[in-house]
Amino acid sequence: MDMPVVIAERLVKSAGFTWLDEVYRGAIPKEQVTDTTSTTAAITEYVSEPAGDANATFKRWSIGVEVQVYYKASVDFSIQDAEIALAKLFKADGWSVDQSKPHTTDPGTNQVSKVFYFDKIINLKEAK
């Protein structure tokens, strides 16, 4: 099984969102941090653990990712529509929206950002 961030990155990239310029696993590279001309997303893991104990073992694995979206300074699309599309993408793939944090504005760049927490339970295959 791939790491949660790999699964989530693949999902987001598969959507082909025209409003999203870059998707990163982990931290956004230093040279991109001050870029206010692009909308970027950083995906990090917040949970990856056994779940669903039964018969002296676990049957499922719980995964979760944090998705931080940093919007470009001159937004030419509906932020709300973009966020709804992102949440629906994860929901359609079997994830739950664990948390959706309020928007914040970076005092240095005036960029608006948003943080989501998505989680999912994966059923494990039985060993033979």
What integer pLDDT is reported at residue 55 of this predicted model?
75
Distances (CA, A) of 84 to 66, 81, 97: 16, 5, 11
In whole angstroms, give the CA distance from residue 102 to residue 83. Answer: 12
pLDDT digits (tens, 9 = 90+) for 26-83: 999 988 888 899 999 999 999 999 987 777 778 899 999 999 999 999 999 999 999 9
pTM of structure: 0.92
| 35 part of a folded domain | yes
| 83 part of a folded domain | yes
In whole angstroms, give the CA distance from residue 31 to residue 96. Answer: 32
| 128 part of a folded domain | no
Confidence of residue 127 (pLDDT cuts 50, 70, 90): low
What integer pLDDT is reported at residue 1 of this predicted model?
83
Domain CATH code at residue 90: 3.30.2000.30
Task: List 38's β-bridge partners, or say none.
Answer: none
Is pLDDT larger for residue 128 or for residue 23? 23
Boundaries of domain holding 43: 4-123
What integer pLDDT is reported at residue 128 of this predicted model?
56
